[in-house]
Chains A and B, each alone.
Chain A
Amino acid sequence: MSTPTLEKQDQAPEPADATAAHTITVTFRIRRFNPEVAAESYWEDFQLDIDPKERVLDGLHKIKWDHDGTLTFRRSCAHGICGSDAMRINGRNRLACKTLIKDINPEKPITVEAIKGLTVLKDLVVDMDPFFQAYRDVMPFLITTGNEPTRERLQTAEDRERFDDTTKCILCAACTSSCPVFWNDGQYFGPAAIVNAHRFIFDSRDEGGEQRLEILNDRDGVWRCRTTFNCTDACPRGIEVTKAIQEVKRALITRRF
């Protein structure tokens, strides 16, 4: 599991009277921002009776459906596939749909805010354009020369294994928006773009590796990485993001020497 979470172990015997004995009261402390109302953001508390085995996303749904319909956030698949609902939960970037309430100490208020380093548009929704611009800039598609083969481009199991880890990315931006270099200067490509470049640089079928390395060799490329490991900690897919960045650095150095 990629995001270590605090386990609550004291499962004290509950009084067996109430029908809803399995629910607990949890405070959701959400950072709200609406540019049509105020220039400042503010924290708003919501009290919910909720099963601790539910996810933070379920809590957000409850709030939006039963308490305050203006709460704005992104989600699509609700099952950790689409990468829409990365947010900062208790100060760490996670997917709301993969974070169980019981795992993040529901005794204390659960803080939920937008991911950092990207412009907040409303509540938990940020402008993802700069993130996807960096992604597009590393050319995340197969580049080949010569005639197209009449059948699949074959590859050995070992060749496939080489970049297996970085194929798992769902472009949620949890890594990039956990990176202190990116917080301070959004022109850094950021971990997610490097992960997706890695996926093609180390693919034996791809011939655009040189171009991608050249792009990442520049001012805003891999050399800005300071190895803080925030990205690896943040990735909900368990991708070893920092390792992938180091492998690109190594490829750049061995290319020269």
Chain B
Amino acid sequence: MSAETTTPANDAVSAYDVDHPAPVIEAPRARTRKTPKTTRTNFEMYGWLFMRLSGIVLVVLVLGHLLIQLVLDGGVTKIGFAFVAGRWASPFWQAWDLIMLWLATLHGANGLRTIINDYAERDNTRLWLKGLLYTAAGFTIVLGTLVIFTFDPNIR
């Protein structure tokens, strides 16, 4: 319900009375007896733990990544095909980027899942938004993994 300024609204002839009260605006997704009961899985607990554990690893991976790519050795201007090819010649940087890709995507996707659960009120909206989210995350992970493993420095 929206609240306006300080003028009472009841001076005009009202469309509402005892027999025809205005519809009260229900709080979103009220808890009722019909609210689904427990599913007895630990999914939400593992999701919560994953956010914290992946967050700790991401601090190192992402900050290290930003430092290497954007600050050290001439900053962003040095990045080119040769630079990427040089780095991915080493299994260490391949692993770094692969882990970062998986963790960041899963971490971000799980975070957005939380936000959708918070803000999408209707079950259908939730379904579609989550469908879109999982498709995008899956696509990003598959494509990124494919590139890291099949990258060919001699392509022309």
Q: Which residues of A contact B (CB under 8 A)?
A: 29, 31-45, 113, 117-121, 129-131, 133-134, 137, 180-181, 183-187, 189, 214-215, 217-221, 223-224, 249, 252-253, 256
Q: Are B24 and A119 in contact (CB under 8 A)?
A: yes
Q: Are A185 and B28 in contact (CB under 8 A)?
A: yes
Asked whether A44 and B24 contact (CB < 8 A) given A185-B29, A217-B44, the answer is no
* Chain B: interface size category: 35 or more
Return chain B residues, CB-CB under 8 Å to A256: 42, 45
Asked whether A39 and B22 contact (CB < 8 A) given A130-B30, A186-B28, the answer is yes
Q: How far is the CA of A120 from the CA of B30 in the complex (A)?
A: 13
A45 CB to closest chain B CB (Å) equals 5
Q: How far is the CA of A130 from the CA of B32 in the complex (A)?
A: 6
B10 CB to closest chain A CB (Å) equals 4
Q: Are B29 and A35 in contact (CB under 8 A)?
A: no
Chain A's interface: helix, strand, loop or mixed, by majority? mixed
Interchain pairs with CB closer than 8 A, number: 128
A69 CB to closest chain B CB (Å) equals 15
Q: Are B30 and A186 in contact (CB under 8 A)?
A: yes
Return chain A residues, CB-CB under 8 Å to B1: 33, 39-41, 120
Instruction: Name, among B16, B21, B35, B114, the residue most crowded by chain A CB atoms within 10 Å (CB to CB).
Output: B35
Q: How far is the CA of A33 from the CA of B138 in the complex (A)?
A: 48
Return chain B residues, CB-CB under 8 Å to A181: 118
Return chain B residues, CB-CB under 8 Å to A44: 6, 8
B82 at the interface (CB under 8 A from A): no
B90 at the interface (CB under 8 A from A): no
Q: Are B38 and A215 in contact (CB under 8 A)?
A: yes
